[in-house]
Homo-oligomer: A and B are copies of this chain.
Amino acid sequence: MTKVLIVDDEDTTRNTISWYLKKEGFQVFTSPSGEDALLMETSIQPDLIVLDIIMPGMSGLEVARNIPRQVPIIFLTALGQETDKLTGFNLGAEDYVTKPFSPRELVARIKVVLRRYGKSPMEDHISCPPFEINIKARKIKVAQTEPYLTAKEFDLLLFLIRNSNTIFSREALITNVWGYEYDGDARVVDTTIKRLRHKLGAQHRDCLKTIRSSGYMLEVITNE
Which residues of A are at the interface with B, using a C-beta cutoff of 8 A? 20, 23-24, 36, 39-40, 42-43, 102, 104-105, 107-109, 111-112, 115-116, 134, 136-138, 150-151, 165-167, 169-172, 174-175, 180, 183, 211-215, 217, 219
Distance to closest chain B CB from A214 (angstroms): 6
Q: Are B136 and A165 in contact (CB under 8 A)?
A: yes
Instruction: Report the Cα distance A42→B211, complex, angstroms.
Output: 35
Instruction: Report the Cα distance A222→B112, complex, angstroms.
Output: 31
Q: Are A183 and B102 in contact (CB under 8 A)?
A: yes
Residues on B with beta carbons closer than 8 Å to the beta carbon of A180? 104-105, 108
Q: A109-B39, A180-B108 are contacts. A136–B102 as well, Cβ < 8 Å?
A: no
- Given B108, B170, B212, which contacts A43 in the complex, CB threshold below 8 Å? B108
